[in-house]
Amino acid sequence: MQKTKKVPQRKCIACQERDSKKGLIRIVKNKEGQIFLDPIGKANGRGAYICKDAECLKKAIKSKALNRAFKIEVPNEVYENLLEELQKYED
Ligand SMILES: [Zn+2]
């Protein structure tokens, strides 16, 4: 099997869009299991991307997309915090 360099695809976990006009923002889960918004994209941990759009995050909440992305049960209050944070970055 040939090794090909995988370019990490940034894709919104809610709407699956790769390049929305609004851009994507990173959500990270660190090794302590904390989940938070990482607007600079430099935090250590497993990352997932979502549009800078509260509607997408709401969709992710409904579909529990973050649970799938991070393979853990994400508590509701974490989603709520993310939603609150994300709204600060919306245009
Ligand atoms: Zn999206």
Domains and CATH numbers, the chain: 9-88 (3.30.1230.10)
pLDDT of residue 19: 72
Q: Residue 47: which residues within 8 A CB-CB, separation 6 or more? A: 26, 27, 28, 29, 38, 41
Distance from the CA of 30 to the center of ligand 1, in angstroms?
22
CA of 16 to the centre of ligand 1 (A): 6
**Rounded to the nearest whole angstrom, what is the distance from the C-alpha of residue 3 to the centroid of ligand 1?**
30
Note the pLDDT of residue 22. Answer: 64
| Ligand 1 centroid, distance to 37 Cα (angstroms) | 15
Hey, what amino acid is at 16? Answer: Q
pLDDT < 50 stretches in the chain: none
Q: Residue 7's pLDDT is what? A: 62
pLDDT of residue 88: 94
The rounded Å distance from CA 86 to ligand 1 centre is 12
